[in-house]
Structure 1
Amino acid sequence: MSVQIKAEPLTAAAFAPFGDVIDTSGAPDKIINAGLCGRYHDRATLDFGEGGRAGISLFNAEPRSLPYSFDLLERHPEGSQAFIPMTPAPFLVIVAADAGGQPGQPRAFLTAPHQAVNFYRGTWHGVLTPLSLPGLFAVVDRIGDSANLEEVTLAKAVTVIP
């Protein structure tokens, strides 16, 4: 039997220990382009470590549904990683605090339309988990020669419920 956790709404306050919520909440920081565009400035703390650079990749992930069971978490010790959906569809975000080099108790967040996330360097997280087609995302992360992926298979599967 798996452990169950409930998906909670993605808010900046609840997600703060793990990374940034990227969205257009609040008023724009500046109006640009002859008054036709609101700029929401510097919404994520990107970190690519020494010897790395920023890269933008496109991911096309298979959709999942709730309840959703998982047993794999990963982290990127050399850099941050942002998941930016290319559709307004919500997606599932799974994270866990570090517990002595291993993932602690997982938490699950359900995004609202037009929200993206940036995981801080070293944050344990689940795989990209869209809940509908297409599962198309822009991913901003570290490109470099050193290893930047650690994966852990959990002893017990975790099931996220709505």
Structure 2
Amino acid sequence: MQVITPAPLTATAFAPYGDILDATGDFRLINEGMCQRHHDRASLDFGPEGRAGISVFQATPRALPYTFDLIERHPDGSQAFVPMTQHPFLVIVADGPDATPLAFLTNGAQGINLRCGVWHGVLTPLHAPGLFAVIDRIGPTPNLQEHRYSDSWTVLAP
């Protein structure tokens, strides 16, 4: 069995794979000073033939330890996951199908934006209801490639 342990999701550790969507750092006040706008948090990419789409995903919660053998990527566009509840979820990324995957655990107040072409695990909420807004490319091509590992990986509890 191949084993990995999740690390906390930080901007520095996740930078090669995408952006963290959270309410930290610089902001400007809007709405008569009653709202902090943390502006332009992600580099969205929909390719030359795509457009932005917002979908709602409801994924079955998983538990740690979590075993997986499937990763995927979207070669024609970025993909952002914004949780609609304040529960941590698991994020799995890899530098390619032959690379050792990395696992990150969000803090319950973070979303992510995966860069175009980044290999990643499937949506892995750890608590019900597993509800996410997903902003990604809508276009004429399938924009999905999958890879199955010959030996599965298990993500342990931190």
Question: Which TM-score band applies after superposition, normalised by the shorter structure?
Answer: over 0.9
Task: Report if aligned partners of 1:4, 1:159 keep a CA contact under 8 Å in 2.
Answer: yes
Task: Report if aligned partners of 1:74, 1:125 keep a CA contact under 8 Å in 2.
Answer: yes
C-alpha RMSD of matched pairs (Å): 0.8
Q: Distance in 2 between matches of 1:148 and 1:120?
A: 13
Which of 131, 146, 159 is equivalent to 2:126? 131
Which contiguous aligned blocks of 4+ residues in structure 1 show a shift greater than 6 angstroms?
A: none
Q: Give the TM-score, by structure 1 length.
A: 0.95
Provide the residue aligned with 1:84 in structure 2. Answer: 82
Which of 38, 63, 74 is equivalent to 2:72? 74
Provide the residue aligned with 1:61 in structure 2. Answer: 59
1:47 aligns with 2:41: no
1:97 aligns with 2:92: no
Q: Distance in 2 between matches of 1:117 and 1:103?
A: 23
Structure 1: gaps spanning 5 or more residues? none
Q: Distance in 2 between matches of 1:139 and 1:103?
A: 27
Count of residues paired in the alignment: 157
- Aligned residue identity for 2:143: N
Q: Distance in 2 between matches of 1:161 and 1:137?
A: 23
Structure 2: gaps spanning 5 or more residues? none
Which structure is higher in strand share?
1
Provide the residue aligned with 1:16 in structure 2. Answer: 15
1:117 and 1:103, CA in 2 relative to 1: closer, same or farther beyond 3 A? farther
Which of 103, 111, 116 is equivalent to 2:106? 111
SS of equivalent to 1:13: helix
Deviation at 1:103? 4.7
Provide the residue aligned with 2:145 in structure 1. Answer: 150
1:68 and 1:136, CA in 2 relative to 1: closer, same or farther beyond 3 A? same
- Aligned residue identity for 2:19: D
Q: What's the % identity of the aligned pairs?
A: 59
Task: Report if aligned partners of 1:83, 1:117 keep a CA contact under 8 Å in 2.
Answer: yes
Q: Give the TM-score, by structure 2 length.
A: 0.97
Deviation at 1:27? 3.9
Task: Report if aligned partners of 1:73, 1:103 keep a CA contact under 8 Å in 2.
Answer: no
- Aligned residue identity for 1:153: R
